[in-house]
Amino acid sequence: MDEQAGHRFEDIAIPQVHARSHTPARVSVDLPARLRLMTSSAFVFPGQGSQSVGMGQALAAASPAAAAVLATADAALGESISQLAATGPADRLDRTENAQPALLAVSIAYLAAVRERWGALGIEAPVPAFAAGHSMGQYSAFVAAGVISIEDGVRLVRERGRLMQASGAGRDGAMAAILGLDDAAVPALVERASAHGVFGVANRNAPGQVVVSGERAAIEASADIARELGARKAIVLPVSVAAHSPLMAEAADGMRRVLADVPFRDPSITLLSNSGAEPITTAAAARTELVAHLTAGVDWVAAVERMRAAGVTTFIEVGPGRVLTGLIKRIAPDAEVLALDDRASPDRLAVPFATATTA
């Protein structure tokens, strides 16, 4: 991880567990300037698509806290979702009903691991100004903010995946990625493609990058329309679920019934809605969000811009992969963006608030 010089914490004493003596080792800890102020950071949580076989395996081996999270998720589901994440096979892990609980469990395992590491360094775990999730990542953010438990979280996203797969039966759903289309042309794309069936923007991921969703006829027509409007590329995706579209109305109704029996608490961290980046500060608003975001789009650009406007200078991606890191760099090039999934580390864990070396 890159360091910013000139901001040194006081030396922190950490006992040497390998020595007979109780004389502490001295550890010097450098804190990047932008990370010293806890209110200037935000945790962001990835959604489906960030999963990969092997995720969480090295982390659990290196961190008792991460291993405990994964064990809790396994017990809640009555099966080893952590083993599926670790060893696959990929086609089974990629199924919506498996990918979503696996991602949530591994994302929260990353959070537990980095908090454990902070504790070992003698650093109080920071409370970020925001926790924001991309699509299914909302559930991870809600667990991180104490709105729902990890047990309820993994059970809920499993049911969410099943309901999404079943929703819109008899109506052929599809999605497409539109790249290089000027944002000003998106309304024209929506208007023209909607003449061919249900159609809308599922994700506004970054400037010039949107994902559209709806009935297959409208999606296939939108690819040609987007190219006519100046898009560099339009790709119909190999999915059958029209996520974040009106075709998910049945899934939304199903989740409303399921969520009614789950206890919610007010968030300890400010959350943001997926569709409008509005602050979520109560349990009631959180419950509403998890229903509404199934049929509404994810405006990730608006979420990042809202956090930047509120003073966030550092974004920390909590979970496997670096999808959100790449998107945020495009939305806010001047922001500090860090991913906990450090592929160069043996335990795949970056520790963003400190770099410790024994003196």
Is 135 a residue of the active site? yes
Q: Which of 182, 175, 183, 180 is nearest to 222 (CA)?
A: 175
Is 244 a residue of the active site? yes
Q: What is the 3-state secondary structure (H, E, C) of the chain?
A: CCCCCCCECCCEEECCCCCCCCCCEEEEEECCHHHHCHHHEEEEECCCCCCCCCCCHHHHHHCHHHHHHHHHHHHHHCCCHHHHHHHCCHHHHCCHHHHHHHHHHHHHHHHHHHHHHHHHCCCCCCCCCEEEECCCHHHHHHHHCCCCCHHHHHHHHHHHHHHHHHCCCCCCEEEEEEECCCHHHHHHHHHHHHHHCCEEEEEEEECCEEEEEEEHHHHHHHHHHHHHCCCCEEEECCCCCCCCCHHHHHHHHHHHHHHCCCCCCCCCCEEECCCCCCEECCHHHHHHHHHHCCCCCEEHHHHHHHHHHCCCCEEEECCCCCHHHHHHHHHCCCCEEEECECCCCCCCECCCCCEEEEC
What type of residue is 233?
Answer: K
Q: Which of 41, 244, 245, 293 is catalytic?
A: 244
Q: Which of 40, 41, 63, 135 is catalytic?
A: 135
* Residues designated as active site: 135, 244
